[in-house]
């Protein structure tokens, strides 16, 4: 079965063709980052316009490169939400038009479910049940996944997502946008010089980044007031260390609490090499089966949407031509 995946929820325009939910035939990603960089963040209207300009072009390119014809496509899978409403509509309208013209089934996919399914694009995907940590630009959530279509939210951020915190702290440190990769790069040359306080929330599986951000802000201000040089690399490392240790600790609390031995990481922040190293070390020590997508499948891409669409379709999910964008779609 060939699945066409379409992803336009934020600032990546992506088209993929995936075979049987696991084998990537094509996964073309056009990143708008260079355009949004000028503004220091994603501008929704600009994102929608770029999706409109690019989507059809990369669809044609993907079809050409795959040597498949339109009639070979068996299923159309598209991101329904969460995301930017205008951006989502571009992908959904494209998907519905194709589904109607080709008389093929259509499935709307939750973008976060898509991130989790980036781990299913392989021969030996995770077995249920498992704990998933979705850690991206818009979300930080611990989810108990019991089946392809059964998700239970265990805990989440009470304010910023981890990726958003990386982006904001990078701005404070003058490291530019997007912040995650910039902090990671600076941190490679840094040391742990500042032990940011542990993050405490009422519920043990919730997290909050506002205190950490404020500590960083005051630390920088005080150093500036004293006329001292800002140790950017060391602060980047100290921040990255605290965020990752907190994510790690909660992931293992969830694994213990729900007696599961599989941990599935998903979302853009998983591209961070220090995160990968720490999660690998501790999972090995604790005998936990760890899944992490390759970096290209951590950030937004349509292959993960195609994979999720395949498994959900096999579970009986089909959408009609009344499928709507839902900017705050929940998975629970």
Does residue 7 interact with Mg ion by CB under 5 A?
no
User: In this structure, how many other beta carbons lie within 10 angstroms of the beta carbon of residue 23?
Assistant: 14
Question: Are 159 and 208 contacting, i.e. CB atoms less than 8 angstroms apart?
Answer: yes
Give the DSSP letter of residue 82.
S
Q: Which of residues 258-317 bind ligand ATP (CB under 6 A)?
A: 267-269, 271-272, 299-300
The Cα–Cα gap between 158 and 201 comes to: 9
Does residue 111 interact with ligand ATP by CB under 6 A?
yes
Q: Which of residues 232-251 bind Mg ion (CB under 5 A)?
A: none
Token pair, residue 53, equals 């300009």
Question: Are 235 and 194 contacting, i.e. CB atoms less than 8 angstroms apart?
Answer: yes
Helix (H, G, I), strand (E, B) or coil at 192: coil
- Which of ligand ATP, Mg ion, none interacts with 163 (beta carbon under 5 to 8 A by kind)? ligand ATP
Q: Which of residues 125-154 bind Mg ion (CB under 5 A)?
A: 136
Does residue 163 interact with ligand ATP by CB under 6 A?
yes
Q: Which of residues 26-65 bind ligand ATP (CB under 6 A)?
A: none
Does residue 81 interact with ligand ATP by CB under 6 A?
no
Task: Please pick, from the candidates 7, 184, 246, 300, the single residue that binds Mg ion as defined by CB under 5 A.
Answer: 300
Helix (H, G, I), strand (E, B) or coil at 3: strand
Does residue 168 interact with ligand ATP by CB under 6 A?
no
Say how many Å lie between the first and final Cα of the chain, rounded: 28
Q: Which of residues 7-26 bind ligand ATP (CB under 6 A)?
A: 10
Q: What are phi and psi of 147, to 5 degrees?
A: -160, 175
- Which of Mg ion, ligand ATP, none interacts with 140 (beta carbon under 5 to 8 A by kind)? none
- Which of ligand ATP, Mg ion, none interacts with 110 (beta carbon under 5 to 8 A by kind)? none
Q: Which of residues 207-226 bind ligand ATP (CB under 6 A)?
A: none
User: In this structure, how many other beta carbons lie within 10 angstroms of the beta carbon of residue 207?
Assistant: 28
Kindly tell me which of 80 and 136 has the beta carbon lying closer to Mg ion.
136
HEC readout, 107-152 = EEEEHHHHHHHHHHCCCCCCCCCEEEEEECCCCEEEEEEEECCEEE
The contact set with ligand ATP (CB under 6 A) reads: 10, 83, 111, 115, 136-139, 163-164, 166-167, 178-181, 184, 267-269, 271-272, 299-300
The contact set with Mg ion (CB under 5 A) reads: 136, 300
């Amino acid at each position: 079965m060939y699945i066409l995946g379409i992803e336009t929820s934020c600032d990546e325009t992506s088209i993929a063709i995936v075979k049987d939910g696991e084998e990537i035939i094509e996964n073309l990603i056009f990143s708008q980052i260079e355009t949004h960089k000028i503004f220091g963040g994603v501008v929704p209207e600009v994102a929608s316009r770029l999706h409109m300009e690019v989507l059809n072009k990369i669809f044609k390119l993907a079809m050409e490169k795959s040597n498949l014809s339109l009639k070979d496509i068996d299923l159309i899978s598209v991101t329904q939400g969460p995301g930017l409403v205008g951006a989502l509509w571009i992908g959904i309208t494209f998907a519905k038009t194709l589904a109607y013209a080709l008389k093929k089934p259509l499935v709307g996919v939750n973008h976060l479910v898509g991130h989790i399914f980036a781990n299913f694009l392989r021969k030996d995907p995770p077995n249920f049940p498992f704990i998933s940590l979705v850690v991206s630009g818009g979300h930080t959530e611990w989810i108990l996944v019991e089946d392809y279509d059964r998700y239970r939210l265990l805990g989440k951020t009470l304010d910023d997502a981890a990726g958003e915190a990386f982006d904001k702290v990078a701005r404070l440190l003058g490291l530019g946008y997007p912040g995650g990769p910039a902090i990671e790069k600076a941190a490679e040359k840094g040391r742990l010089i500042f032990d940011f306080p542990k993050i405490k929330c009422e519920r043990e599986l919730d997290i909050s980044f506002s205190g950490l951000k404020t500590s960083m802000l005051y630390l920088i201000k005080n150093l500036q007031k004293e006329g001292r040089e800002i140790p950017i690399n060391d602060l980047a490392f100290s921040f990255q260390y605290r965020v990752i240790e907190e994510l790690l600790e909660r992931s293992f609390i969830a694994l213990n609490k729900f007696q599961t031995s599989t941990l599935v990481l998903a979302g853009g922040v998983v591209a961070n090499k220090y995160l990968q190293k720490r999660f690998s070390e501790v999972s090995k020590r604790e005998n936990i089966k760890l899944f992490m997508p390759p970096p290209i499948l951590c950030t937004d891409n349509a292959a993960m949407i195609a994979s999720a669409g395949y498994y959900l379709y096999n579970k009986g999910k089909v959408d009609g031509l009344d499928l709507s964008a839902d900017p705050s779609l929940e998975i629970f």
